[in-house]
A and B are shown apart, each in its own frame.
Chain A
Amino acid sequence: MARDVQLLNRGFSPGKALGLFAKAHPDSGGIASFVGKVRPDGDVKVLELISYERLTLPGMETLAKEVDSRWQLDGLLIHHRTGHMRPGAPIVLVAAAARHRRDAFEAVDFAMDHLKSRSWFWKREKRSDGWHWIEPREEDHADAKRWDV
């Protein structure tokens, strides 16, 4: 299966990446995708995502391999930002191309749950009173545990 896993340090266009991905998989019956964005709520002016070179991308590649082993896919794309982002900016694009829709939907759902809770990213957000580190969220861990069978 074709895997396209990237860690991006500048803004990207999910629409463009998805278009290219669709073009690369003309024989797939369906493509499911998810775009995660910086939530424009309250007082947050900037979100910073920090990665660690020796773990973050290797961890994303390991995740892609696991997705590959669990579902029948023609292609999988995971693009994830690091660095500074404004509210509304895209953080992550996950897309899966498959013969059948169920594989594509589930692969994207699984990849997102694992990116949200078990990937090597650290976050802080800038509010009017300065920078705040973001702690892990219980909900994200519970979401990922759904798949532990």
Chain B
Amino acid sequence: MAVTVVFIGKLADLAGEGEREVTAPLSWGGLEDALGADLAEAASQDRTKIAVNGAVLADKTTLQAKDGDEVALLPPVSGG
């Protein structure tokens, strides 16, 4: 029973890995707890977005991920 949390760009540097398995189900509070202080701080910044299975959340605090879901932490895009 796990959610895969994917770190993109500089958040992967901060995490020291590209992804991490976290126990399901996963809420915003649960994600903050699972990330640790530095990553939770980066994730809570306005410009950091969260996607669940490729759908970007309008309000990340509504996060509700279940077993098998992929949650991605997305820093501001730098463009193509």
B9 adjacent to A50 (CB under 8 Å): yes
Smallest beta-carbon distance A46→chain B, Å: 15
| A74 → B minimal CB distance (Å) | 24
Residues in B whose Cβ lies below 8 Å from that of A91:
80
* A136 contacts B72, C-beta separation under 8 Å: no
The CA-CA distance from A50 to B79 in the complex, in Å, is: 10
Interface centre among A120, A121, A133 (most CB of B within 10 A): A120
Residues of B within 8 A of A36 (CB): 80
The CA of A140 and the CA of B54, in the complex, are separated in Å by 24
Q: How many residues of A contact B (CB 8 A)?
A: 26
B51 touches A137 (CB 8 A): no
**CB < 8 Å A-B pair total:** 65
User: Least Cβ distance of B58 to chain A in Å?
Assistant: 15
User: How many residues of B sit at the interface, in one of the four size bands?
Assistant: 10 to 19
CB of A135 within 8 A of chain B? yes
Complex interface: chain A residues within 8 A of B80 (CB): 36, 49, 80, 91-92, 115-116, 119, 121
A11 CB, nearest partner CB in chain B, Å: 16
The answer, yes or no, to whether B45 is at the interface (CB within 8 Å) is no
Judging by beta carbons under 8 Å apart, are B76 and A52 in contact?
Answer: no
Tell me if A54 counts as interface (CB < 8 A to partner B). Answer: yes
Query: B56 contacts which chain A residues (CB < 8 A)?
Result: 55
Q: Are A121 and B79 in contact (CB under 8 A)?
A: yes
Q: Are B8 and A136 in contact (CB under 8 A)?
A: no
Could you tell me which B residues sit within 8 Å of A by CB distance? 6, 8-10, 13, 51, 53-54, 56, 70, 72, 74-80
Q: Which residues of A contact B (CB under 8 A)?
A: 36, 49-50, 52, 54-55, 58, 80, 91-92, 115-124, 133-137, 140
7 closest A-B pairs (Cβ-Cβ)? A54-B54, A122-B9, A115-B80, A123-B78, A134-B78, A116-B79, A133-B10
Query: 20 additional contacts, CB 8 Å, given A52-B8, A115-B80, A133-B13?
Result: A36-B80, A50-B9, A52-B6, A52-B51, A54-B51, A54-B54, A55-B74, A116-B79, A118-B77, A119-B77, A119-B80, A121-B78, A122-B8, A122-B9, A123-B78, A123-B79, A124-B10, A133-B9, A135-B76, A140-B79
